[in-house]
Amino acid sequence: MKHDERIAPVPGDYNLKDYEEAYRTFSWEEAEKVFSWSETGKVNMAYECIDRHCEGPRKNKVALYYSDPSGRDEKYTFYELKRLSNKFGNVLRKFGVKKGDRVFVFLPRSPELYVSVLGTIKIGAIVGPLFEAFMEGAVRDRLADSEAVALVTNPQLLPRVPIKELPALKHIILVGAGDALPQGDGVGFYDYHKEMAAASEELEIEWVDREDGLILHYTSGSTGKPKGVLHVHNAMIQHYWTAKWVLDLKDDDIYWCTADPGWVTGTSYGIFGPWLNGATCVVRGGRFNPDDWYATIEKYGVTVWYSAPTAFRMLMAAGDDVVKKYNLSTLRHILSVGEPLNPEVVRWGLKVFGKRIHDTWWMTETGAMLIVNFPCMDIKPGSMGKPFPGIQAAIIDDNGNELPPYRMGHLAIRVGWPSMMRKIWNNDAKYREYFRIPGWYVSGDSAYRDEDGYFWFQGRVDDVINTSGERVGPFEVESCLVEHPAVAEAGVIGKPDPVRGEIIKAFVALRAGYEPSEELKQDIIRFVKERLAAHAAPREIEFRDKLPKTRSGKIMRRVLKAWELGLPTGDLSTMED
């Protein structure tokens, strides 16, 4: 497997000029010196994101543009966010919420969500963001496991909070409650706007240790309940440097991260990374819709855009004519995370935006980007890129031996980087599993490295298919499938087979204008045989209107597999509707 396709960088004044040089000389000990707290040890993420900028020329710079399809259209400067988050911190303190307590935010993307997150962090409490689409079971699991004491939500979402089953929950702050505050159940209900109006703008920030808790992100495994991944304030070192070098944020950028804060991307790179760098962020409420998204880029003159393969694939499927209706000429830097970025999508991006899409690889557990494509380096379409300076990535076998180029194995990282998770809430055994090979963090992803040091994702380790003795990563097959003109999306699994061990089965969603047929199946199979390899071509294809996906856009192969085998699907709380 040789990868010859390369897309050279466009020369430019990037924050990171020379990757190889940086990789040789970088150290986290030096990198943390940009923060004065590296001497005192006392710190607060929300201060570094917001208040610090109010002591300099960014005080009246726009920190947040917010709009949504309902017609809200607002902007907030760093100074305004400082005052609002101070107020919110005071609201929580009035209720007795203190350092280390868990405060959950269950709201649609809105300014109130961002203010609540920042205010919670300012008083040293640990914030837990939830997707607004969560239903009762998902809300209960997370609030119960973390013993959250306070919740910010709205009257529409409140019925999904099973208060009686959450004895630790004492305070519920409702955004838009008006005069009709509920009562009872041993919980205090409050109106967000009234409390905010009455609260002081002056707040004593809680200065915490760098290892104190910051945020709790629940993420689903393939089995069992979701895991509460805890991050600490120290993560800011890596948020800051990755946002500076990978997102390449500069003072005049307009940056749009499309992720919801219910997903780690929406906090690490929708809040912390960009605001540590003093960048102007765009937040667009409402659901995905191609016209709406392009109009958002045009409206704000977005320059740096961080999104996900699933969104790019949906934009691609919507057709190039939609792109042409909008002026997207401000875009200068595009990035992707969450799933493998198909080469076809990278080529499409070049065609319609005239820009490369830069893939980045990381996980909820890693807290920040680890393997990336920098604007200053060649992109090999289909590759996740190279390790960020200060990160040692490797492909290892079950015993921890490093494997040579092109050998598929565990994608692992040498332990010790600033934004590493510090625990799995109430589950030490789960935490230790990631470190079962001494010296390494084992990601659960399967990948190989090429001779130039680029990493190539193959699938989750559990998803790798073994067909007639050949190991096949589902991603390569899926990427080939979406190159077929009729295919919008594809999910590939191994289906048990008495002769071959497993056979490759593909679930395919067709593009608009194509109808399922036996002929089309055969055509798609032939297409993969000719382009990839005979052994990697699906033996079975099933057409589906939609593929099961998480709210962050990941195709849930384990659900496809469970359907196929008629087995229980496990935890589905993070699945899209």
Chain residues in the site for ligand 6R9 (CB under 6 A): 219, 264-265, 337-340, 359-364, 384, 443-445, 457, 460, 552, 554
Q: CA–CA separation, 132 vs 263, rounded Å? A: 11
Q: CA–CA separation, 262 vs 244, rounded Å? A: 23
Q: Is 567 strand, coil or helix?
A: coil
Nearest to 372 by CA among 560, 245, 197, 198: 245
Q: For 415-450, where are the E strands, in sequence order?
A: 423-424, 440-449
Which alpha helices (DSSP H) does 131-209 contain, by range? 136-146, 192-198
Cβ 562 to ligand 6R9 shortest distance, Å: 18
Cβ 126 to ligand 6R9 shortest distance, Å: 18
Smaller CB separation from ligand 6R9, 353 or 457 = 457
Nearest residue (beta carbon) to ligand 6R9:
364
Cβ 449 to ligand 6R9 shortest distance, Å: 14
Cβ 359 to ligand 6R9 shortest distance, Å: 5
Q: How far is CA 429 from the centre of its chain?
A: 25
Tokens coding 427:
């589950």
Smaller CB separation from ligand 6R9, 124 or 262 = 262
DSSP conformational letter for 550: B
The residue with tokens 């947040």 is 64
Smaller CB separation from ligand 6R9, 344 or 359 = 359
Cβ 228 to ligand 6R9 shortest distance, Å: 13
Q: CA–CA separation, 346 vs 336, rounded Å? A: 10
Q: How far is CA 147 from the centre of its chain?
A: 24
Cβ 384 to ligand 6R9 shortest distance, Å: 5
User: Could you tell me which residues come within 8 angstroms of residue 7 by beta carbon, excluding any fewer than 6 positions away?
Assistant: 346, 350, 356, 378, 379, 380, 381
Burial of 118: CB neighbours in 10 Å, binned 0-12, 13-18, 19+: buried
Smaller CB separation from ligand 6R9, 277 or 360 = 360
Q: Which residue type is seen at 5?
A: E
Smaller CB separation from ligand 6R9, 337 or 487 = 337
Smaller CB separation from ligand 6R9, 32 or 359 = 359
Smaller CB separation from ligand 6R9, 73 or 462 = 462
Smaller CB separation from ligand 6R9, 124 or 340 = 340
Tokens coding 283:
């937040």
- Sheet of 62-67: strand order equals 73-77, 62-67, 280-284, 254-257, 304-307, 333-336, 357-361, 371-372, 386-387
Tokens coding 410:
């565990």
Smaller CB separation from ligand 6R9, 117 or 175 = 117
Cβ 356 to ligand 6R9 shortest distance, Å: 14
Cβ 202 to ligand 6R9 shortest distance, Å: 37
Smaller CB separation from ligand 6R9, 124 or 491 = 491
State which H helix or E strand residue 360 sits in: strand 357-361
475: left (phi > 0), else alpha (psi -120 to 50), else beta?
alpha
Cβ 527 to ligand 6R9 shortest distance, Å: 23
Cβ 324 to ligand 6R9 shortest distance, Å: 28
Secondary structure tally for the chain: helices H, strands E: 19, 28
Q: How far is CA 207 from the centre of its chain?
A: 28
Beta bridge partners of 16: none
Do 115 and 82 form a contact (C-beta atoms < 8 A)? no
Q: How many residues belong to the chain?
A: 577
Q: CA–CA separation, 500 vs 539, rounded Å? A: 11
Do 225 and 19 form a contact (C-beta atoms < 8 A)? no
Cβ 336 to ligand 6R9 shortest distance, Å: 7
Smaller CB separation from ligand 6R9, 173 or 215 = 215
Smaller CB separation from ligand 6R9, 44 or 366 = 366
Beta bridge partners of 540: 505
The residue with tokens 């589902």 is 474
Smaller CB separation from ligand 6R9, 132 or 339 = 339
Cβ 266 to ligand 6R9 shortest distance, Å: 10
> Alpha-carbon dihedral of residues 132, 133, 136, 138, nearest 10 degrees?
-90
Cβ 460 to ligand 6R9 shortest distance, Å: 5
